Amino acid sequence: MHALAFNSGSSSLKFGLYRVHGTQVTRLVSGEVEGLGQPLGAFHAHDAQGNPLLNETSAPASADAAIERIAALLASAQTPSPQVIGHRIVHGGPAQRAHCRIDDAVLRDLEAAVAFAPLHTPAALAVVRGAQARFPNLPQVACFDTTFHRTMPDVARMLSLPREMRALGIERYGFHGLSCESIVRQLAAERADGVPPRLAIAHLGNGASITAVRDGVSVDTSMGLTPSGGVIMGTRSGDLDPGVLVYLARERQFDAAMLEDLVDHRSGLLGISGLSGDMRTLHAAAATNAGARLAIEMFCQSVRKQLGAMSVVLNGLDLIVFTGGIGENDGAVRAEIRRGLSSIGVDSADDGSPCRVQALPSLEDEQIALHAAALCPGLT
């Protein structure tokens, strides 16, 4: 089966066409639209061997236009036609917690869940509708970042609020689930001894989270009701004393929109440094900019704290996997984080270390293709 995967961000759209056979998945074409609908952007794509198919310095003006360009690219590359389309959905809310085929009822639930992930869900819904319009005869599948964390026990899922709040869907959901699924799948395939029983996954990118995995199953994670909590992120604050928000609302007349803008867009690495939410920019400035140095140090400290917490949850760690844009590619940040983890069995080198450390790519799009194919087994 050939599955087209869409992985949308607030202003970006990753895509890939994959051949899926059972549990085997092969990439045929992949690419990304950056700066979707913005004056400055890019559109690039590669074939199965990594050779460039296009590299444009502008982006389509809308999700519909981007999908039309992607369809044209696939046609010009003479790839097989997709038979199913899968979409990454960050938050399905309380009503949608399992990967599923999209119908009108699912779309209504996703619309109702926009408030849980206002940075992500509106963009994803625009892509779903654009794909439905461009490929009206193909089944569409929603793949949720929250699904992997459905296994968390109540001690991790419940928030310390009155019990009736849970009836409103207020609980810990967890995110980066597709990334975590892909790490577990890679470990199962690559290691002779399979997935270690006590695993921590550090997905570190513009969004960041730490997940405790016992025997391949999520048992705790750093993000909560929304993707804004947990460790420090690019522009998101991570965990805050709730009293900060109460103070700003009461004493500085912040309304909900102002608080959301503060927590999601003006905090994190950007807020600390006053310079940028991009770790690459902070590294470049760190030698002469104290704010940049502090932002990097605070980021690494927040990750160490969460890894220590997950070590307690799992009663020790056998393996830490770093993934995501920073986790996979930023060796300096990985080294700085691990320098503070000797108390949980991480030495400066893996030789003889009770807890080993490795970096793996986050293969979210492959995971989307696998789920999309599995949910449409009658297609050939």
Whole-Å CA distances, 212 to 42, 143, 148, 167, 320: 36, 21, 11, 26, 10
User: Residue 370: which residues within 8 A CB-CB, separation 6 or more?
Assistant: 3, 20, 23, 25
Please give the span between the terminal C-alpha atoms of the chain, in angstroms, as a whole number: 6
Q: Which of 103, 145, 239, 330 is catalytic?
A: 145
**Is 320 in contact with 346 (CB distance < 8 Å)?**
yes
The two tokens of residue 284 are 């470049």
The two tokens of residue 258 are 């102002």
To which H or E segment does residue 220 belong?
strand 217-221
Rounded-to-integer distance, Cα 274 and Cα 258, Å: 18
Q: What are phi and psi of 370, to 5 degrees?
A: -60, -45
Active site residue 261: no
**Starting at the edge strand that comes first in sequence, how are the strands of the sheet with 356-359 ordered?**
217-221, 208-214, 198-204, 319-323, 356-359
3-state secondary structure 254-303: CCHHHHHHHHHHCCHHHHHHCCCCCHHHHHHHCCCCHHHHHHHHHHHHHH
Catalytic residues: 145
